[in-house]
A and B are shown apart, each in its own frame.
Chain A
Amino acid sequence: MTADTVTPAPSAAAAAPPPPGPASSRRAVRTMRRRPSLTDSDRSIVSDADRRQPRVRRAMAGVHVFLAVTLVLAGLGPLLWLAKAAVTPTQDTLRQPFALWPNGIDWANLSTAWNDIHIDQYFFNTIVIAAGAWAFQLLVATTGAYTLSVLRPRYARVLNGLVLATLFIPSVVLLVPLYLTIVDPPFLGRDHSLLNNYLAVWLPMAANAFNILLVKRFFDGLPREVIEAAQTDGAGPFRLFWSIILPMSRPILGVVSVFAIIAAWKDFLWPLLVLPDPAVQPLSVRLPAVQSQTELDVFLAALAIATIIPIAMFLIFQRVFLRSAGLGGAVKG
């Protein structure tokens, strides 16, 4: 039996439990056309009949202008300014913040930031942290959800309750005891403190009940017949997990991946506490630390470099991002 014969891709897509969030990007609308219930979402407060009135049409044009101006100013404005300021000499930025390069472009800011204040190294640290956090979160979320949703041992109910209960605990409660756990890890002792070890960031991030809830809900919605057919054909738990469940779960794995990488990229307080050595710190921790000893133009160039990867990821995986954001709300709601 090969996995391909029992993995009907379309049914997997149809099994995606909650509907994808907003019909935002054009591409999203196009791919969703297969699901008719979501395509007639054009129906909203202002009806077609309303839109035929000249007064309403003018008002809608006004709404368009308002949205375009506000969103470009608020969403794009600060980033464009940052991009400009990253290649502008300090004095120009300070004296005329909105002038476009009155004294020429200073490309050297970028290379100075990259080489002299070691943004390259912190950039690399950030990528390592994000990659490890992604791998551990995916491992724990998929195996955990598989246990709770498909294998269901006798202790699954208790386990499920204990995991979900952590969702209701504000993370501030964890701060100090978790820090002491890293300083003095169980089984290892103080001589093997995890300070300055990336495991100190990766492992606590993997204890994420929200991921497990998301993936479990998705697994719950997978067609049981496929799972049972595979079991009848003699697939063991590992084979079922690797060849049947995971290939059917690509949409939710994409969502969890986006959450994991973005969260790791954003994290500040925790890496600040457990990675005291500057050589292993990520960008988010280093940027505030180097601010006072860095000239403004170089510092702004460093900020711009730190923003490029998340923005690029967003532009490439826009659909996954926006669906994740909507999905986050759907689960919370």
Chain B
Amino acid sequence: MTTTSPAAPPERAARRRGTPATWLRSGGLSRLAFALPMILVFLVFSWTPIVRSVVMSFQETNLLTPATWVGIDNFVAVLNDPLLGTAVRNTLYFAALALVMGFPIPILMAVLMSEVRRGKGVYSALAYLPVVVPPVVAVLLWKVFYDASPSGVFNTVLGAVGISPQPWLQSPDTAMPSLVIEATWAAAGGSIIIYLAALLSVPPELYDAAEVDGASIWRKAWHVTLPQLRNVIFVMLILQILATAQIFLEPFLFTGGGPNNATVTVLLLIYRYAFQNSLGGNYGMATALSVMLAMFLAVLSWVYFRLTNRWSTS
């Protein structure tokens, strides 16, 4: 505790002896009182459920009879589900599209915004507005925008520039890109603010030095700004991958997984196993798939951090 304060030595000695009486006298009870809310909520609502998740993936659980051990049956059942392949492919497709469309935009916008000298505050506020809109409202509103009739909001805009109406959510081909566009719109503002904060911490001397060496604006952006943002970009990249691997709200509210299962994602499948099952919740299969997804993401992040660490230090 207070190692330098004059009051500390006797107290530390008391704590080292460690009988219940000295623990009490040194304020152990009040320390515990402060720790208790955290310990209780984490114990009941975090640590225990995490452990229980692993246990349940090897059990058959329903709410009426005690759980029974079934070995790896749940995992076998999940792996034999013909929808799993579709869900994994769709999730990968979503993640890939989100990377291609959504990842570079915030970096570009933040760099441009950090260059303007006036209106930065207004621009940041405008960029952040979509993040403030509740996600459910955003999805429901975009569902109206995606109206497939020629007089739908987006189709009217497309019509004005001479593009024929798109089916958006109605067609298996365009449904997933539509989801990604909305998700990108909803998330870009948060990333822009984070990149703006990172841009502020680029040491000004680096730009001065580059100018002394006669670097052009492009070379400064490429050789000073981007390398300085490298670590933030690495972290944002893995965070986005982790988030898109668990995408749920957009497919659930936009399409419910349709049309023709084109937007069934892994998380939607987990939800269906557990909560949309006509035979009662199959909690075993749901936790088995969650555990597999979590393990995959853990391995992915570990490998990713190993790799990026090597790149950052070299």
Binding site for B on A (CB under 8 A): 19, 21-29, 38, 40-47, 49-50, 56, 60, 63-64, 66-68, 70-72, 74-76, 78-79, 81-82, 85, 94-98, 136, 139-140, 143-144, 146-147, 151-155, 159, 162-163, 166, 168-181, 183-186, 190, 203-204, 206-207, 209, 212, 224, 227-228, 231-232, 236-238, 241, 262, 265-266, 268-269, 273, 283-285, 287-288, 291, 296, 299-300, 303, 306-307, 310-311, 313-315, 318, 321-322, 325-330, 332-333
Taking CB atoms, residues of chain B closer than 8 Å to A151 are 1, 31, 34-35
Given contacts A22-B197, A44-B207, A176-B287, contact A159 B246 (CB under 8 A): no
Complex contact B63–A184 (CB within 8 A): yes
A-B pairs with lowest CB-CB distance, top 9: A329-B194, A144-B38, A326-B197, A25-B121, A43-B204, A75-B126, A177-B49, A24-B124, A21-B197
Given contacts A42-B117, A76-B129, A144-B38, contact A273 B140 (CB under 8 A): no
Q: Which of A47, A95, A311 has its CB near the most chain B CB atoms (within 10 A)?
A: A47
Given contacts A71-B127, A174-B46, A236-B30, contact A26 B121 (CB under 8 A): yes
One of A64, A232, A268 near B249 (C-beta < 8 A): A268
Complex contact B38–A310 (CB within 8 A): no
Complex contact A22–B200 (CB within 8 A): yes
CA separation between A203 and B43, bound complex, in Å? 11
B89 part of interface (Cβ distance < 8 Å)? no
Complex contact A268–B136 (CB within 8 A): yes
One of B127, B149, B156, B291 near A75 (C-beta < 8 A): B127
One of A21, A172, A180, A325 near B294 (C-beta < 8 A): A172
Taking CB atoms, residues of chain B closer than 8 Å to A66 are 112
One of A63, A70, A98, A311 near B133 (C-beta < 8 A): A311
Quote the shortest CB–CB distance from A132 to chain B (angstroms): 13
Taking CB atoms, residues of chain B closer than 8 Å to A140 are 37-38, 41
Complex contact B249–A176 (CB within 8 A): no
Binds A, one of B80-88, B166-174, B267-275: B267-275
Taking CB atoms, residues of chain A closer than 8 Å to B207 are 43-45, 47
Instruction: Give per-residue flags for B221-255: 1 if the beta carbon is below 8 A from chain A beta carbons, else 0.
Output: 10011000001100110010010001011001100
Compute the total of residue contacts between A and B using a CB distance below 8 Å.
342
Taking CB atoms, residues of chain A closer than 8 Å to B185 are 74, 78
CA separation between A81 and B242, bound complex, in Å? 32
Complex contact A162–B211 (CB within 8 A): no
Given contacts A140-B37, A287-B140, contact A180 B61 (CB under 8 A): yes
Complex contact A181–B47 (CB within 8 A): no
Given contacts A175-B270, A175-B274, A291-B140, contact A46 B294 (CB under 8 A): no
| B window 32-48: CB within 8 A of A | 32, 34-39, 41-42, 44-48
Given contacts A66-B112, A143-B34, A303-B140, contact A97 B151 (CB under 8 A): yes
Given contacts A45-B224, A96-B151, A310-B134, contact A203 B45 (CB under 8 A): yes
Complex contact A166–B151 (CB within 8 A): no
23 contacts between A and B (CB under 8 A): A19-B200, A23-B200, A29-B121, A45-B207, A60-B115, A67-B112, A71-B127, A75-B130, A97-B153, A166-B46, A168-B298, A175-B271, A175-B290, A176-B56, A180-B61, A183-B63, A190-B63, A207-B46, A269-B271, A314-B128, A330-B194, A332-B239, A333-B194
Complex contact B6–A232 (CB within 8 A): yes
Quote the shortest CB–CB distance from A147 to chain B (angstroms): 4
Complex contact A153–B28 (CB within 8 A): yes
Quote the shortest CB–CB distance from A264 to chain B (angstroms): 10
Complex contact A268–B135 (CB within 8 A): yes
